[in-house]
Amino acid sequence: MMNPIGRAVWYIEMHFGSEISLVDVAQASELSKFHLVRAFGTYAGRSVMRYVRARRLSEAAKRLAIEGGGILDVALEAGYNSHEAFTRAFKEQFGITPDQFRRNPDLKNIRIVEPIKMDDSKKDTSPILSEPRIVDGDAMVIVGLKKRYDDETSTQMPSQWQAFQAHIGNIDNQKGNVAFGVLCNSDDDGNIDYITGIEVSEYPEATKELDGLRIPAQTYAVFTHEGHVAEIGWTWKAIFADWLPQADYKPVDAPQVERYGEGFDTETGIGDIEIWIPVAK
């Protein structure tokens, strides 16, 4: 069975020369927009629509390199309705204008984005993904540091955890010694809020530095992450690429949670790490 990312990639490759919306790709992938954005960004390292733009402009660059037609013709074929719009997008993607590229049309000098090869999906996911347990989670109030990330800045999430360490144990009304990484409020471009926090029994006195989030009671599919915390991305990929296509449960548009339990060792980065995916039958 083709996984949701494979269906999304197939649809994009068949249609990127025409107008494509995130809704179109979500329908083709059989996911909601929320989960498509999360799944695609996790798997591909860039958002759905950034991938669409990158593929569209990469194929346009190939045409400029091997064909003698005008730039406007290439722009129109790529789905841009003017030379100016195409030039802006091309320069944003490759760092040079189409005119500059045409004068020295060497594809080795720009970063062409080729189609994602879904045949290689098993190489990009964790080799072992245990069946999740299904948990009815209680409502929670999480307080911590919040920062918004995009495709490129998401690699900075570990530094957010480092900044949050000093707050653990020093937040009023803290419950237990479990830390949470909460992903929420994503948009169509793949930007998302990440909260590094702890659970509290009620909101403490307001502070300028900390944010709070109320998470309602929810059913979760809970996955254990085996190995170092730096490799948690492989488990996320396996969930979306391997488990989701054949699951009896459907993902719900709600915050997704990384849970770092009392057995997690901050010195070694190993132990007691779980990913909680909100689901429904």
| DSSP β-bridge partners for residue 228 | 270
Q: What is the pLDDT of residue 141?
A: 94
Sign (positive or negative) of CA dihedral 113, 119, 121, 127: negative
Name the band, by pLDDT with cuts 50, 70 and 90, for residue 2. Answer: low
Identify residue 3 by its one-letter amino acid code: N
Decide which of 144 and 31 is more confident.
144
Name the band, by pLDDT with cuts 50, 70 and 90, for residue 62. Answer: very high
Identify residue 217 by its one-letter amino acid code: A
Q: What is the pLDDT of residue 122?
A: 47
Q: What is the pLDDT of residue 126?
A: 46
Q: Are 261 and 167 in contact (CB under 8 A)?
A: no
Candidates 172, 175, 144, 140; CA nearest to 160 is 144
Q: What is the pLDDT of residue 51?
A: 92
Q: What is the pLDDT of residue 72?
A: 92
Say whether 18 sits in a helix, a strand or coil: coil
Residue 241 DSSP class: I
Task: Read off the pLDDT of residues 199-234 as tens digits, 9 standing for 90 and up.
Answer: 999 887 656 789 999 999 999 999 999 889 988 888
Radius of gyration of the chain from Cα atoms? 21
Question: Residue 179 pLDDT more than 60?
Answer: yes
Give mean pLDDT, residues 107-117. Answer: 89
Say whether 12 sits in a helix, a strand or coil: helix
Side-chain half-sphere of 91: how many Cα atoms within 13 Å? Answer: 9
Question: Residue 262 pLDDT more than 50?
Answer: yes
Task: Read off the pLDDT of residues 120-131 as tens digits, 9 standing for 90 and up.
Answer: 444 444 446 888
Give mean pLDDT, residues 49-67. Answer: 91
